[in-house]
């Protein structure tokens, strides 16, 4: 699945829907980001997306764009009843998921606010 930055969340949403519809009993959701060449970093740097101090300050007023990094994550998702039955440890409970897209916009750095707000309110 490739939906750019949202791929892992779209797959998580699909896994949660499949669990709710009893299509699966367990889902494995994974995502990785590997910077293979400097070309992508150089491109987004020229577009002004990278933090000048190389640090990420998510959810703070001091936030000044973002920092690139490599990483990998995998989640195992199951229904709570199955986790309890299987004796597994619950690390988190996903209460709701939803996805949408914000349609045509001026550019990647100027997303349309209305669809994003509607998604947050509906989830």
CA 49, CA 65: separation in Å to the nearest integer?
Answer: 6
Paired sense of beta strands 27-33 and 71-77, if any: antiparallel
CA 32, CA 12: separation in Å to the nearest integer?
Answer: 14
Query: Per the structure block, which two tokens stand in for 31?
Result: 């995502």
Query: Per the structure block, which two tokens stand in for 34?
Result: 């590997």
Q: Would the pLDDT of 102 be above 90?
A: no
Q: Domain ranges in the chain?
A: 4-95
Q: What is the pLDDT of residue 119?
A: 87
CA 35, CA 45: separation in Å to the nearest integer?
Answer: 14
Q: Pick the range with the lowest mean pLDDT from 4-8, 44-48, 107-111, 118-122.
A: 107-111
């Amino acid at each position: 699945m490739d939906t750019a930055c949202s791929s892992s969340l779209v797959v998580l949403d699909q896994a949660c829907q499949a669990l709710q519809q009893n299509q699966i009993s367990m889902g494995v959701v994974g995502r990785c980001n590997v910077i293979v060449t400097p070309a992508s970093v150089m491109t987004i740097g020229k577009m002004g997306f990278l933090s000048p101090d190389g640090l990420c300050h998510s959810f703070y007023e001091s936030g000044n764009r973002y920092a690139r990094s490599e990483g990998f994550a995998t989640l195992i998702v199951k229904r709570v009843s199955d986790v309890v039955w299987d004796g597994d440890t619950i690390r988190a409970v996903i209460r709701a998921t939803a996805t949408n897209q914000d349609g045509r916009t001026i550019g990647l750095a100027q997303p349309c606010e209305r669809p994003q707000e509607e998604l947050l309110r509906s989830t």
